[in-house]
């Protein structure tokens, strides 16, 4: 999944920064973003699970909500990579 790749890249970035020793603040910010990502993402999966439980007549609203969730995930990934 894309999420695992983002997490892997962030961990690699933080290891690289830690090895330099002079970017402590930046590496702490990266770690904080990783923790934030990990804490939010299970909730996003729960929303997807709930959407799957909606009856077929709710397909239009379900798709609109899915699009919004994908947008939130994308923005979160962009923030993590900056």
Q: What is the mean pLDDT of the chain?
A: 77
pLDDT for the residue 30: 79
Give the integer Cα–Cα distance in Å for 13 and 57: 45
Q: 37 lies in which domain range?
A: 2-81
Total domains in the chain come to 1
pLDDT for the residue 37: 79
Q: Residues of the chain whose pLDDT is less than 50?
A: 1
pLDDT digits (tens, 9 = 90+) for 35-51: 887 888 888 889 999 99
pLDDT for the residue 1: 47
């Amino acid at each position: 999944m894309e999420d695992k790749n983002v997490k892997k890249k962030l961990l690699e970035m933080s290891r690289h920064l830690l090895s330099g020793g002079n970017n402590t603040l930046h590496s702490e910010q990266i770690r904080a973003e990783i923790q934030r990502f990990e804490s939010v993402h299970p909730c996003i999966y729960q929303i997807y699970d709930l959407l799957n439980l909606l009856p077929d007549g709710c397909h239009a609203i379900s798709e609109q909500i899915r699009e919004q969730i994908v947008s939130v995930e994308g923005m979160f990934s962009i923030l993590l990579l900056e």
